[in-house]
Chain A
Amino acid sequence: MTNAFYEIEIDPETSLPIRIKVTALTGRKGKTRRKGNKIIGGEHAAFHFEYKLSEFGKVEAPKIPRNAQKVLAKLK
Chain B
Amino acid sequence: MRSLFTRILLPVALMTACTGLLFAGDSSKKKIPSPYSQLAKAAKNLSKIKGFKTTLTVQGGLSNTKDHKIHQFAVKESYQGDIYKGLIHISAAESYKTPRKGVRFFEGAWRNIYSDPQGRKLQTFFNFPQEVLKRALRHAKRSGRWLDAEQAAAEANPAKPAEEIELDESGRTVVSKKRLPGKEAEAIMPTIMLVETPTREALDHYLTVEKSGCLGGG
Interface positions of A (Cβ within 8 A of B): 1-12, 14-17, 20, 22-26, 37, 39-62, 64-65, 67-68, 70-72, 75-76
Contact = CB atoms under 8 A, between A and B. Distances in A.
Contact of B193 (A7, A40, A57, A76): A7
B13 interface: no
Contact of A17 (B69, B70, B129, B147): B129
Contacts of A49: 56-58, 125, 127
Given A26-B206, A58-B51, 9 more contacts: A4-B197, A7-B193, A8-B42, A44-B64, A46-B68, A48-B68, A51-B54, A52-B56, A72-B101
The 6 closest A-B CB pairs, nearest first, are A59-B51, A4-B202, A24-B205, A47-B60, A2-B202, A6-B136
The binding surface of chain A is classed by DSSP as: strand
Contacts of A14: 45
A44 B68 contact: yes
Interface stretch (B4-12, B18-26, B102-110): B102-110
A11 B169 CA distance: 50
B112 interface: yes
B173 interface: no
B83 interface: yes
Contact of A62 (B65, B75, B89): B89
Interface of B: 38-39, 41-43, 45-46, 49-66, 68-70, 74-75, 82-85, 87, 89, 96, 98, 101-103, 105, 109-112, 125, 127, 129, 132-133, 135-136, 139, 147, 187, 189, 191-197, 199, 201-203, 205-206, 209
A51 B56 contact: yes
Contacts of A47: 58-60, 75, 205-206, 209
A43 B62 contact: yes
B193 to A, nearest CB: 5
13 contacts: A4-B205, A8-B192, A9-B192, A15-B45, A17-B129, A43-B63, A44-B68, A46-B63, A47-B209, A51-B55, A62-B89, A71-B110, A72-B101
Contacts of B147: 7
A49 B202 CA distance: 13
Among B43, B89, B197, the most chain A Cβ lie within 10 Å of the Cβ of B197
A43 B112 contact: no
A72 B201 CA distance: 30
Contacts of B195: 5-6, 8
A72 B96 contact: yes
A4 B132 CA distance: 13
A58 B213 CA distance: 35
Contacts of A10: 38-39, 42, 191-193
A55 B50 CA distance: 11
